[in-house]
Amino acid sequence: MADLKYIQSTCPYCGTGCSFNLVVSDGKVVGVSPYPRSPVNEGKLCPKGMYANEFINSPDRLTTPQIRKDGKLVPVSWDEATSFIAENLKKYKPSERCALSSARVSNEDNYAMMKFARGVLKTNHLDHCARLCHSSTVAGLAGSFGSGAMTNSIPDIAESKCVFIIGSNTFEQHPLIGRREYMAKAKGAHYIYADPRRTITASQADLFLQFHSGSDVALLNGLMHDIIKNGWEDKEFVEKRTKGYEELKALVMQERYNLENVGKVTGLTPEDIHTAADWIANSGGCALIYSMGITQHTVGVDNVHATANLQMLTGNLGKPGTGVNPLRGQNNVQGACDMGALPVNFSGYQKVTDPEMHKKFADAWGFPEDIAPTQNGYEVTIMMNVLVDNPGELKCMYIMGENPLMSDPDLNHVKEAFENIEFLVVQDIFYNETCDYADVILPAVCYAERDGTQTSTERRVIRWRKAQDAPGEALDDWQIISMVAAKMGYEKQFAWQSASEIFDEMASLTPQYHGMNYERLNTPEGLHWPCKTPEDPGTPILHKEKFLTPDGLGVFFPAEWKAPAEVPDEEYPFVFTTGRCLFHWHTGTMTRRSPTLDKEVPTGWIEINDEDAKALGINDGEMVHATTRRDTISVMARISPQIMKGTTFMPFHFAECAANLLTHNALDPVCKIPEYKACAIKITKIEEGQ
């Protein structure tokens, strides 16, 4: 009949945090309709958002709990599943337990998992996929500014006089932020784009810096060298608002960072580097925008520090159109970090090792015994190493909404790690590659079937609103965790009846969220954290007068350039870099089940420079062998003049040609992020008959 409802919600894909209307008819989501009122995306969407309804009612949705009995998955009741899980988890010591939370579920779900890990499992071995993407940011900017988050907000990027985009293919990965970059340009801003690949984002550039993957610190130090040499630094800002300048100056003014030497390392011309330095320093307001190209290196933290150094040097902070703007990937990775789904923090970045914080949370939660100790736990990349190098130390794992068997580096290493897990619980909306190793699989609700909040990359907390019921017996993630906790005797500590209640408990313990509640969040604008009191209107731009460090000063962390862990050599002559494509999301569980998106890009490819391809005798569309020291795969070649000679690229979404079989598990020593963006590869033509 004439039954049509519009439920305003937020896109489940990337960290831009676009809003749209879910169109509901007869109790089911039937489409997505624009929501022009949203200040973030103004009714506009990328193809993923446009078709974000297509996977919701897929017949593949997990609908019942399952237990693996004699190697076969058997559907069971929630009661049996949760009892079985409780029984098994109790067998292990706290130090043997670990958990992976999810950057794709709500803040409430993440807070519940954090409380569960620390209060029930008594472990700090808690992490999530932020480790793999922006852990460099969180660690790096926390040191430089006292806060590891995007300093400005999405709308004010359009007011910039110069956008400097480095390591972010914004038009493909955060299209509605790419729009702001374009809007700045349309108003006359300079547009600098640094990437080894000439992507669609590059097509708008006034200055395209096609540089070698992994030479970021060299480039950034080179820019600072040129700026100081020409006296273009913001002396007042440096003097009044920073410390450590002399050390920075000493490092970047070394001859190794002059234009000519940096040109050699990066593959750029001295003129281009000089132009960039001029525009960044002298345009009257430069916004630096970065993403995985900066973070996913063994020097990820150094890269991040270098971006912060550059912006502090030029006074490009604390005003609209400026800032250091890391674009968080997942829709709620910012929130998952904020909620403390990390081995070193409670929610609000309050340290696990701080006895005061320990007491604050222990007292608030009221567990009968003490919670996890004041000792940092393992990051997910370290968990994988420990599982392989020291089998028996970690014995059981609880995973919510993550797929390490596709997303972690060096998948053979990951498989080995997972073989050594005795008891594994996986909670998700679809059966994925990680489920192959699960002892118990639990069906969860998706974004359209829940109330909750998510925090986008610009620290904006926004609402999800329930548009339809979940299929079968699927439940909210926080509800499932509460049920397991109850089976383990902790019903009291997990007694929430609604997502709103969880949010209120979390906000009472988390300074940045303290002034927020569901009523205040019931606006199209949401609220930017920090929002410390009920009257606080939120903070779109950070660091206006002071930084969030203890003394309010920004800190220069000078960094020497170091090459990636594995560079090309005679045997493996090309650089291998990985990334995303616009139409698919990460391990493909949702987008490959969306017919429109799947049809657009049905499978993966390896991008090879046309000159390189010619030398190898490889044609466009041909299957080739791509081999690194980790493994070899067959994948289709896409020949392109857009990628730098000597560099190859693969998207990581496709299980049948899984890029992460090839990637390197080399980690940044500080934040433990893998070097997805650079390792060494060889490409071989598959001769006929092979």
Partner 1 sequence: MSAKGDMFYAWTAVPDIKGECGGAVTSILKYLLDSKIVDGVLTVQKGLDVFDAEPVVITDSADLAKTAGSLHCGTLLLPKLIKKYLNGAKDMKLAVTCKGCDAKAMYELAKRNQINLDNIVMVGLNCGGSVSPVVARNMISSQYGINPNDVVKEEIDKGQFIVMTKDGQHKGISIDELEEQGLGRRTNCQRCETKIPRQCDIVCGNWGVIGDKAGKATFVEICSDKGAMVFDGAVKAGVLETSAPNPKGLEIRGKIENVMIKMGKKNQEKQFAAIGEGTGGRLTYIMAETSRCIKCYGCIESCPICYCVECSTKKNHLVPSGRLPPDFMFQLIRFAHIADSCVNCGQCTDVCPMNIPNSLFMHAQQVELQKMFGHKPGMDMELPVLAFAEEADERARLNATGSDMIYENVFKE
| Near partner 1 in 572-601, by CB under 8 A | 581-583, 596, 599-601
- The C-alpha atoms of residue 665 and residue 608 are separated, in whole angstroms, by 23
Instruction: Please say whether the beta carbons of 361 and 371 come within 8 A.
Output: yes
Output the smallest distance, CB 46 to partner 1, in A.
5
Among 179, 241, 514, 672, which residue sits at the site for partner 1 (rule: CB under 8 A)?
A: 179
Instruction: Please say whether the beta carbons of 394 and 96 come within 8 A.
Output: yes
CA distances from 494 to 89, 203, 502 (A): 17, 52, 9
208 makes contact with partner 1 (CB under 8 A): no
The dihedral sign for the CA sequence 212, 214, 220, 225: negative
User: Contact letters (x/-) for partner 1, 143-172, by CB under 8 A?
Assistant: ----------------------------xx
Among 73, 200, 362, 670, which residue sits at the site for partner 1 (rule: CB under 8 A)?
A: 200
Segment interacting with partner 1 (CB under 8 A) among 46-54, 252-260, 305-313, 678-686: 46-54
622 makes contact with partner 1 (CB under 8 A): no
- The C-alpha atoms of residue 53 and residue 496 are separated, in whole angstroms, by 29
- The C-alpha atoms of residue 470 and residue 429 are separated, in whole angstroms, by 10
Nearer to partner 1, 201 or 314 (CB): 201
Instruction: Please say whether the beta carbons of 628 and 681 come within 8 A.
Output: yes
Q: Which residues pair with 452 in a beta bridge?
A: 464
Instruction: Please say whether the beta carbons of 137 and 299 come within 8 A.
Output: no
Q: Is 11 left (phi over 0), alpha (psi -120 to 50) or beta?
A: beta
> In sequence order, what are the residues at sequence separation of 6 or more whose Cβ sits closer than 8 angstroms to the Cβ of residue 186?
none
47 makes contact with partner 1 (CB under 8 A): yes
Nearer to partner 1, 23 or 253 (CB): 23
Specify the DSSP class assigned to residue 610: H
- The C-alpha atoms of residue 250 and residue 252 are separated, in whole angstroms, by 6
DSSP string, 80-122: HHHHHHHHHHHTS-GGGEEEE--TTS-HHHHHHHHHIIIIIS-
| Near partner 1 in 522-551, by CB under 8 A | 522-524
176 makes contact with partner 1 (CB under 8 A): yes
Nearer to partner 1, 23 or 362 (CB): 23
76 makes contact with partner 1 (CB under 8 A): no
Nearer to partner 1, 61 or 653 (CB): 653
204 makes contact with partner 1 (CB under 8 A): yes
Among 90, 93, 186, 544, which residue sits at the site for partner 1 (rule: CB under 8 A)?
A: 186
User: What's the token pair of residue 430?
Assistant: 């679809």
Segment interacting with partner 1 (CB under 8 A) among 108-116, 180-188, 245-253, 408-416: 180-188
- The C-alpha atoms of residue 342 and residue 128 are separated, in whole angstroms, by 7
Segment interacting with partner 1 (CB under 8 A) among 45-53, 98-106, 487-495, 510-518: 45-53
Nearer to partner 1, 47 or 270 (CB): 47
178 makes contact with partner 1 (CB under 8 A): yes
- The C-alpha atoms of residue 615 and residue 427 are separated, in whole angstroms, by 47
From 166, 194, 192, 251, select the one nearest 561 (Cα to Cα).
Answer: 251
Nearer to partner 1, 195 or 338 (CB): 195
Output the smallest distance, CB 58 to partner 1, in A.
20
Nearer to partner 1, 47 or 244 (CB): 47
Cα 22–Cα 34–Cα 203 angle in degrees, nearest 5: 125
CB atoms within 10 A of CB 681: 24
Segment interacting with partner 1 (CB under 8 A) among 43-51, 88-96, 135-143, 626-634: 43-51
| Near partner 1 in 2-41, by CB under 8 A | 2-6, 8, 21, 23, 25, 30-31, 33-34, 36-39, 41
Output the smallest distance, CB 327 to partner 1, in A.
15
Binding residues for partner 1, rule: CB under 8 A, are 1-6, 8, 21, 23, 25, 30-31, 33-34, 36-39, 41-47, 49-51, 171-172, 175-176, 178-179, 182-183, 186, 199-200, 203-204, 522-524, 581-583, 596, 599-601
